[in-house]
């Protein structure tokens, strides 16, 4: 499957998809020391986002979350790429400052956890198999 | 988005990696929010200054932007830091925190950002004119710029404000556009609020009411006959904190109010609504151990009043006076500082009780600021007492 969405942050990356129907808050919701989702009651609670293509509808929470993505990247714990239904400012800015490819306007319900996904942020393209 | 040739060059990296990254941020935001072009901005106010909020990651990012040649293209001022830059040991700040805070300020200074460290840049030279486009972070100052000054800014975050500083641009969406500044809700205020505490309470009552409506209302307030600079400063901080608002109109007070007719839909706020907002923030039972004035940072007139009230008296609690460095210098010159410090009160310049690392140091805060009450409870777990300006001073003396 291949889709063309909107370019949010440039760069090309591949990885295994980690998909959630819930929003993700990087500040407070992700532990910057382990790369694990720690938000109570989140469907990905306890799972690591490091190296994954993280697929979620939209970001939420504090704007400091942009810096959390940057910190994860520096620690080698950032997602390889991010795919959103609708990107918002926190995720978009975080991806740009951390050099994480990001594309939105993708029908994310078609992507399943474990699929191999390739994201081309510069072209706004997402491929899954 | 349509970019000018110069903006295209920034995006292509002709002005260095930091400017390129800044333009990438602005283009992404413009894409998300449907902007068709960039606007030149007259000034920027940057948030993300306290090491308590930024942390190591934020500091690394700032260092990287400074190293990569980032330079502010327009007048850019800074939000409060986590400490008094000149007098941090007196506030009980530890040396490691101070070192990290100094690294943050050095990175900003290297980028040509004016390291004033205040939430009230409009009191000392970062004063946008009516209709001017700016890119400001700091929610209380955003509200003040839009509503009281009639300038135009969205609520920027730390990185997007910095991006605006390094490019001199902001994407044209939201409150930069006429159609998004029209009032949507009339608010009939049936009482004349008196003083900063009352105006703060009005912000709590209105902010909460608008949040409960789950709408993006722009209120048009009627019935308020007068509001001083200090009262408006307090109201803006409170409305932004409790309702997330970035703009309001106040009939006969704010400059754009005359351009609009009051919307049909009307909400009424009475003295009782203000009183219940006050009661909720004034619930602390025990003895207060921390008193603070200056959220937002005190004006010179407020410091003069404080000096008059404290002259020849002795405070008995930890009492922080928070203000900007330029206003403090004027207070020094006028002799207010000497009078205030002789009372035992402490100046905490460049910082405030919201951003300083004071978790665990106090139990109960007394203040005239609704915003300070919010963060005292949410961030530091303090109980609060919410009193008028003069009564806060009396509480410190008790």
pLDDT tens-digit map of B357-374: 999 999 999 999 999 999
- Going by pLDDT thresholds of 50, 70 and 90, the confidence category of residue B213 is confident
B chain contacts of residue A32, beta-carbon cutoff 8 Å: 57
Does B290 map to a domain? yes
Size of interface A-B (CB pairs under 8 A): 65
Q: Quick one: B211 and B239 in the same domain?
A: yes
SS3 for B195-228, per residue?
HHHHHHHHHHHHHHHHHHCCCCCCEEEECCCCCC
Q: Quick one: B172 and B192 in the same domain?
A: no
pLDDT recorded at residue B57: 84
Structural domain containing residue B155: 5-178
Does B191 map to a domain? yes
pLDDT recorded at residue B108: 98
Q: Using an 8 Å Cβ cutoff, are B44 and B75 in contact? A: yes
Q: Quick one: B142 and B213 in the same domain?
A: no
Q: Is the pLDDT of residue A62 over 80?
A: no
Does B276 map to a domain? no
pLDDT recorded at residue B286: 84
Q: Quick one: B66 and B169 in the same domain?
A: yes
pLDDT tens-digit map of B334-348: 999 999 999 999 999
Structural domain containing residue A18: 2-128
pLDDT tens-digit map of B73-82: 999 999 999 9
- Going by pLDDT thresholds of 50, 70 and 90, the confidence category of residue B379 is confident
pLDDT recorded at residue B319: 98
Q: Is the pLDDT of residue B55 over 90?
A: no
Strand spans (E) along B223-352: 249-250, 266-269, 290-293, 318-323, 346-349
Q: How many domains does chain B have?
A: 3
Does B277 map to a domain? no
pLDDT tens-digit map of B297-350: 999 999 999 999 999 999 999 999 999 999 999 999 999 999 999 999 999 999
Optimal mutation site among A97, A99, A101, interface B, most CBs of chain B within 10 A: A97
Q: Is the pLDDT of residue A8 over 80?
A: yes
The CATH number that applies at residue A13 is 3.50.30.10
Does B275 map to a domain? no
Q: Quick one: B155 and B9 in the same domain?
A: yes
SS3 B50: coil
Q: How many domains does chain A have?
A: 1
Rounded to a whole number, what is the distance in Å from the CA of A91 to chain B's nearest CA? 10
pLDDT tens-digit map of A94-112: 999 999 999 999 999 999 9
Residue B296 is given by DSSP the state: S
Q: Quick one: B29 and B174 in the same domain?
A: yes
The CATH number that applies at residue B336 is 3.30.499.10
Rounded to a whole number, what is the distance in Å from the CA of A16 to chain B's nearest CA? 25
Q: Quick one: B157 and B31 in the same domain?
A: yes
Q: Is the pLDDT of residue A60 over 90?
A: no
pLDDT recorded at residue A91: 94
Does B38 map to a domain? yes
Residue B58: which of A6, A67, A96 has the nearest Cβ?
Answer: A67
Across the interface, whether the CB atoms of B53 and A64 are under 8 A apart is answered yes
pLDDT tens-digit map of B88-122: 999 999 999 999 999 999 999 999 999 999 999 99
Q: Quick one: B174 and B189 in the same domain?
A: no
- Going by pLDDT thresholds of 50, 70 and 90, the confidence category of residue A85 is very high
Phi-psi region of B100 (alpha: psi -120 to 50; beta: other; left: phi over 0): alpha
- Going by pLDDT thresholds of 50, 70 and 90, the confidence category of residue A69 is very high
Across the interface, whether the CB atoms of A92 and B57 are under 8 A apart is answered no
Residue B21: which of A63, A92, A96 has the nearest Cβ?
Answer: A96
B chain contacts of residue A87, beta-carbon cutoff 8 Å: 28, 32
CA distances to A38, B370, B371 from B375, rounded to whole Å, are: 23, 9, 7
Mark which of B178, B196, B231 sits at the end of a domain.
Answer: B178
Q: Using an 8 Å Cβ cutoff, are B379 and B247 in contact? A: no
Across the interface, whether the CB atoms of A8 and B24 are under 8 A apart is answered no
pLDDT tens-digit map of B123-171: 999 999 999 999 999 999 999 999 999 999 999 989 999 999 999 999 9
What's this model's pTM, rounded to 2 decimal places?
Answer: 0.92
Q: Quick one: B27 and B162 in the same domain?
A: yes
Residue A97: which of B21, B53, B54 has the nearest Cβ?
Answer: B21
Q: Quick one: B75 and B197 in the same domain?
A: no
Residues in chain A whose Cβ is within 8 Å of chain B? 6-10, 32, 63-64, 66-68, 70-71, 74, 87-90, 92-93, 96-97, 104
Residue A92: which of B29, B48, B60 has the nearest Cβ?
Answer: B29
pLDDT recorded at residue B116: 93
Strand spans (E) along B117-236: 135-136, 169-171, 185-189, 219-222
Q: Is the pLDDT of residue B214 over 90?
A: no
Instruction: Give dist(CA B155, CA B137) in Å, integer.
Output: 6
Nearest one of B140, B199, B191 to B388, comparing CA atoms: B199
Q: With 0-12 CB in 10 A as exposed, 13-18 as middle and 19+ as buried, what is B160?
A: buried
pLDDT tens-digit map of B179-202: 999 999 999 999 999 999 999 999
Q: Quick one: B197 and B170 in the same domain?
A: no
Mark which of B162, B178, B194 sits at the end of a domain.
Answer: B178
| Percent of the residues in chain A that have a pLDDT greater than 70, as a whole number | 100
Does B194 map to a domain? yes
SS3 B187: strand
Phi, psi (5° rounding) for residue B346? -115, 130
pLDDT recorded at residue B63: 96
Q: What is the mean pLDDT of residues B277-289?
A: 94
Q: Is A62 a catalytic residue?
A: yes
Does B376 map to a domain? yes
Q: Quick one: B126 and B246 in the same domain?
A: no
pLDDT recorded at residue B285: 87
Q: What is the mean pLDDT of residues A26-34?
A: 89
Across the interface, whether the CB atoms of A70 and B57 are under 8 A apart is answered yes
B171 alpha-carbon distance from chain centroid: 22
Q: Which residues touch B233 (CB under 8 Å, ≥6 apart)? A: B120, B140, B144, B196, B296, B299
């Amino acid at each position: 499957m291949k889709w063309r969405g909107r370019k949010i942050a440039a760069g090309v990356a591949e990885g295994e998809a980690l998909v959630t129907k819930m929003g993700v808050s990087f500040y407070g919701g992700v532990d910057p020391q382990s790369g694990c989702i720690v938000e109570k009651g989140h469907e990905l609670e306890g799972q690591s986002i490091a190296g994954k293509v993280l697929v979620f509808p939209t970001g939420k929470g504090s704007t400091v979350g942009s810096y959390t993505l940057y910190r994860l990247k520096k620690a080698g714990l950032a997602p390889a790429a991010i795919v959103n239904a609708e990107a918002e400012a926190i995720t978009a800015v975080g991806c740009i400052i951390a050099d994480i490819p990001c594309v939105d306007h993708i029908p994310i319900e078609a992507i399943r956890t474990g699929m191999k996904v390739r994201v081309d942020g510069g072209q706004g393209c997402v491929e899954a198999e | 988005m349509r970019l000018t040739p110069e903006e295209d060059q920034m995006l292509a990296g002709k002005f260095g990696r930091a400017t390129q990254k800044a333009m990438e941020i602005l283009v992404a935001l413009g894409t998300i929010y449907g902007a068709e072009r960039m606007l030149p901005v007259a000034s920027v106010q940057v948030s993300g200054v306290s090491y308590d909020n930024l942390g190591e990651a934020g500091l690394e990012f700032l260092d990287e932007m400074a190293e990569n040649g980032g330079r502010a293209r327009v007048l850019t001022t800074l939000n409060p830091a986590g400490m008094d830059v000149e007098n941090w040991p007196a506030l009980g700040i530890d040396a490691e925190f101070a070192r990290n805070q100094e690294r943050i300020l050095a990175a900003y200074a290297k980028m040509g950002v004016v390291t004033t460290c205040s939430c009230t840049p409009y009191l000392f030279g970062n004063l946008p004119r009516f209709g001017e486009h700016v890119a400001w972070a700091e929610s209380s100052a955003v509200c003040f710029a839009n509503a009281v000054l009639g300038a135009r800014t969205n609520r920027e975050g730390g990185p997007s404000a910095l991006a605006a500083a390094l490019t001199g641009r902001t994407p044209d969406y939201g409150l930069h556009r006429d159609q998004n500044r029209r009032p949507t809700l009339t608010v009939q205020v049936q009482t004349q609020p008196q003083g900063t505490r009352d105006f703060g309470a009005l912000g709590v009552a209105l902010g909460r009411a608008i949040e409960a409506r789950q709408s993006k209302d722009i209120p048009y307030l009627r019935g308020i006959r007068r509001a001083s600079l200090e009262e408006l400063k307090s109201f803006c901080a409170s409305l932004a904190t409790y309702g997330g608002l970035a703009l309001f109109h106040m009939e006969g007070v704010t400059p754009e109010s005359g351009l609009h007719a009051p919307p049909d839909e009307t909400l009424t706020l009475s003295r009782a609504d203000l009183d219940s907002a006050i009661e909720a923030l004034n619930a602390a039972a025990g003895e207060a151990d921390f008193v603070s004035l200056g959220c937002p940072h005190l004006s010179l007139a407020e410091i003069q009043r404080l000096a008059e009230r404290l002259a020849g008296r002795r405070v008995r609690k930890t009492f922080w006076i928070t203000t900007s460095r330029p206003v403090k210098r004027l207070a020094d010159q006028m002799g207010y500082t000497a009078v205030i410090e002789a009372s035992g009160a402490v100046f905490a310049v460049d910082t405030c009780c919201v951003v300083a690392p004071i978790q665990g140091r106090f139990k109960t805060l007394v203040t005239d600021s609704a915003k300070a009450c919010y963060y005292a409870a949410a961030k530091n777990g303090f109980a609060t007492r919410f009193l008028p300006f003069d009564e806060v001073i009396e509480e410190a003396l008790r």
